[in-house]
Amino acid sequence: MSIELLAETAQAMVAPGKGIIAIDESTGTIAKRFASVGIENTEENRRAYREMLLTTPKLSEHISGAILFDETLRQSTRDGVPFAKYMADHGIIPGIKVDTGAHPLAGCPGEMVTEGLDGLRARLQEYYKLGARFAKWRAVINIGESIPSGTCIEVNAHALARYAALCQEAGLVPMVEPEVIMDGDHDIETCYEVTEATLRALFDALYQQNVVLEGTILKASMVISGKDCEEQADVEEVAESTVMCLKTVVPAILPGIVFLSGGQSDEQSTAHLNAMNQLGTLPWPLSFSYGRAMQQAALKLWAKDPKGNYAKAQQTVYERARENGQAALGKWEG
């Protein structure tokens, strides 16, 4: 492990005005996305769709890296160039999702724990050889009556830290993602409390397991009202609450923080990020790692006519990347 190389990669991931595109949906998840627009879920369709995204002209102006699924990292463009090589040649850092999903946490009804540590060391070594330079692991924290429990937060923080240590051993920058889920009728104050507790546990676990923070990226959820909350917090309150929570817990030595969109609309996710970056000087860059909020509009266009709408779909991807890149600088004008 080279701390210098890890730190260099992490800093490149959060370069000014750039963020991460997440195209790491599992085969089951992308099946749902495809079904919603009438596309058959075949390996070739998945490959073609992800090629459309990754080969978007000038994408690297606003995208520093892309998180891929295992299948995608092994695929190539229609011209036979492996996606990881194509990305590296065009200034985009290849990343890989390595967890195997969230599963019910035994003894804790309504709560989840993310699995995938078994055999992870060997998988990470293979992913590095295939060209990946960072990885992602997502934990799921639900808010509800009497949850999350301390047990749920602790076991997920421990797994994130074990994963992160193994990543750095293999030369990959770990992206740690403890997502506090928006589902529910909780208010923004409850989300703040849960997010703070989750992040405290995460950074304690990272410290205990000797993870080098200079070579780590946090993928955070925003402090936001639950989807079913009667009183939805406005853009300014979400921005101020999220930044306050992060300043309270996240060490300044971290190279950067990227946000997930987590069920927000395209415009909401961009507006919230923009508002945060207008709050003055912050200890770390705040950027984006959006999946649906980067892809949904382009997917609908592409699905209508994969050949005829190819350029239009790519233009839509570029425009979403540019808007979020501006928001990462606090310069989005809506």
What tokens were used for 219? Answer: 């993928």
Which entry of 25, 111, 219, 323 is annotated as an active-site residue?
219
- Helical spans, DSSP H, in the chain: 3-13, 27-37, 43-54, 70-73, 83-89, 120-129, 150-169, 188-208, 235-249, 266-276, 292-304, 310-327
Is 85 labeled as catalytic in the residue annotation? no
Which entry of 111, 177, 179, 323 is annotated as an active-site residue?
177
Q: Which amino acid is at 322?
A: R
Torsion sign across C-alpha atoms 117, 11, 196, 68: negative
In the numeric block, the tokens 């060490």 are attached to 251
Is 177 labeled as catalytic in the residue annotation? yes
In the numeric block, the tokens 């058959």 are attached to 40
What tokens were used for 164? Answer: 């992160």
Q: Which helix (H) or strand (E) holds 137?
A: strand 134-141
Residue 179 DSSP label = E
Can you give the length of the chain in residues? Answer: 334
Q: Cα(249)–Cα(244) distance, rounded to whole angstroms?
A: 9
User: Torsions phi, psi of 268, nearest 5?
Assistant: -60, -50
Q: Are 134 and 217 in contact (CB under 8 A)?
A: yes
Contacts of 48 (CB under 8 A, 6+ apart): 78, 306
Contacts of 333 (CB under 8 A, 6+ apart): 326
For the purposes of burial, counting CB atoms within 10 Å of the CB of 89, is it exposed (0-12), middle (13-18) or buried (19 or more)?
exposed
Q: Are 220 and 260 in contact (CB under 8 A)?
A: yes
**Residues marked as catalytic:** 177, 219
